[in-house]
Structure 1
Amino acid sequence: MNTFDNQPTSHFAAPWKLKGEGFILVYRFTKNFVYESGFLREDQLGNFKEGFGYVMLVNYEESPVGPYRELLFIPGKFGPENKQSITKIYVDSDASTENGRFNWGIPKETVPFIWNKESNVTTVGVGSEENPIWFSKIRTGSIPLPVSTKILPIHLLQHLNDQKYLTKPEGKGWGKLAKLEKVHIDPLGFPDISQLKPLMCVHVNPFWMSFPLPKLV
């Protein structure tokens, strides 16, 4: 039994199957940016190994805890394990936060979200309307392409409450190239990528994802 975070009153054990839509922004973050703005744990300082980094905005339409939205930051890989880590993540569901922390050691925090779509432009707000952590407008293009974790694999090593969790989520779906047209970020709440240009932005809709049982290491 996992005793490293309080078991949720409504516990939904791994594996999880999820379905929804989302935006994947792909970057190559510098060490300076990650160390200064990446919300790293103390043990991650000095251990950043670069690689592809991601910002993801996700609208889960189906999950074991019901629909919810999510914003997350993955800087890249860290040594010596050479695995990725989610260093900042928000959702708008307490059940998702509690189960995510308990099942996989993902440091979720619960805040309000706004997710509106008009034609091919999606507006996402995270946090309070008066002082949002994140506010963006993303325009979806028309060129379809398959998206899969086989192309951009994710191997997560999360460290929470003195326990390490190794998880390899798998996902697939259909995406279209997109463009981040406007973004405002509170750097006290999320890494400020507003002055950085992503290598790629993809709107994946729909996608299917599986979060398996983690390996405790």
Structure 2
Amino acid sequence: MKIMQTTCSSGFAGKPPWVFKGSAVYQFHLVKADIARAIIPKEFRLVETFGYTLGGFFLANYNESPFGPFDELVTIAGIVRNPPMLTSHAWAASVYVNNDNACTHGRKEFGLPSQVAAFSKANQTIHVAEVDSPMTTGLYDIRHESPILKMNPLKWMALGPTIKMSLPSYSGRTEHRPQLLKYSCQIECRVKPTSPARVSGSLGQINAETESNGHLKKREISMSVMLSKPIFALEFNCLKMEVQPPVVVSRNPLELKQE
């Protein structure tokens, strides 16, 4: 997977659907239900079994997007549903991108907890650091046990089938989008199983700071998700992802009281 340095695209997102092309790894973790509940909205019901929910992360490199090439790391806290609805959606605990415009788009259009980060790669290890000018805080080292190789698309025909799927998610309840939103990513790609990546981070270094800083508390929860037990991973290549605008599911209770 190609890793880009922090950039700022001057392009505009344009009209939906927004199309992203590149490659990605989707890794699934068993996340303790108590950790996931600490970050999901109160109206959600967590989908859990024996005290665990299904979370993990989505690590992508887009070589084409409305914002130009960039990298993205989405930490998924777990699977939730919003009663009385029966369908389940993922909830993102954190989103890191190395493109300012992509960060702004995620915040204002989708109500995602997007942050700017720097991505670097050495010896099959991807290092992710949050950029909070003038400081940079190291977050994760993600090491792929089986290297992700650049391949001719024809070779992927023998290594993984072409699939189409939808990844439904909830978002919102943020400063920029206080409403509860839902959206889905329509994905077409070649997919194959791969060895789960090893994730290391500096959770112990920020524990002492979380009591007085809400942003750090969310970072700690996201890190707990990333450091939870991996169970399997999927490698996506020849990836094409189409994203439609989100739909409002419900209003913020504070907004309703003001009307």
TM-score by length of 1: 0.77
Q: In the alignment, what sits opposite 1:192?
A: 224
Select the residue among 155, 166, 191 that pairs with 2:168: 155
**Shift in Å, 1:23:** 1.0
**Shift in Å, 1:98:** 0.5
Structural mapping, 1:25-44, within 5 Å = 25-35=27-37, 40-41=39-40, 43-44=41-42
**Shift in Å, 1:149:** 5.6
Aligned AA for 2:47? K
User: 1:23 and 1:197 mapped to 2: Cα distance?
Assistant: 16
Q: Is 2:72 the counterpart of 1:70?
A: yes
Structure 1 or 2: more helix by fraction: 2
Aligned AA for 1:69? D
Q: How many residues align?
A: 200
Aligned AA for 2:93? T
Q: In the alignment, what sits opposite 1:5?
A: none
Aligned AA for 2:21? K
Select the residue among 96, 108, 114 that pairs with 1:90: 96
Q: In the alignment, what sits opposite 2:211?
A: none
Select the residue among 230, 241, 257 that pairs with 1:209: 241
User: Is the 2:71–2:97 contact (alpha carbons within 8 Å) kept by the matching residues of 1?
Assistant: yes
Q: In the alignment, what sits opposite 1:4?
A: none
Give per-residue Cα distances to partners, 1:114-142, cap 9 Å, x unaligned.
Answer: 145x6xxx321110698520111102489
Q: In the alignment, what sits opposite 1:179?
A: 195
Q: Which has the larger radius of gyration?
A: 2
Q: Unaligned 5+ residue runs, structure 2?
A: 1-9, 150-157, 207-218, 250-259
User: 1:194 and 1:91 mapped to 2: Cα distance?
Assistant: 16
| Percent of paired sites with the same residue | 19
Structure 1 residues 12 and 35, CA gap change in structure 2 (3 angstroms): same
Q: In the alignment, what sits opposite 2:115?
A: 109
Q: Unaligned 5+ residue runs, structure 1?
A: 1-7
SS at match of 2:108: helix
Q: In the alignment, what sits opposite 1:20?
A: 22
Give per-residue Cα distances to partners, 1:90-118, cap 9 Å, x unaligned.
Answer: 111110010111222222100111145x6
SS at match of 2:159: strand
Structure 1 residues 83 and 178, CA gap change in structure 2 (3 angstroms): closer
SS at match of 2:34: helix
- The alignment yields a C-alpha RMSD, in angstroms, of 3.0
User: 1:58 and 1:14 mapped to 2: Cα distance?
Assistant: 20
User: 1:84 and 1:196 mapped to 2: Cα distance?
Assistant: 17
User: 1:45 and 1:185 mapped to 2: Cα distance?
Assistant: 31
Structure 1 residues 26 and 206, CA gap change in structure 2 (3 angstroms): same
Q: Is 2:161 the counterpart of 1:146?
A: yes
TM-score by length of 2: 0.66
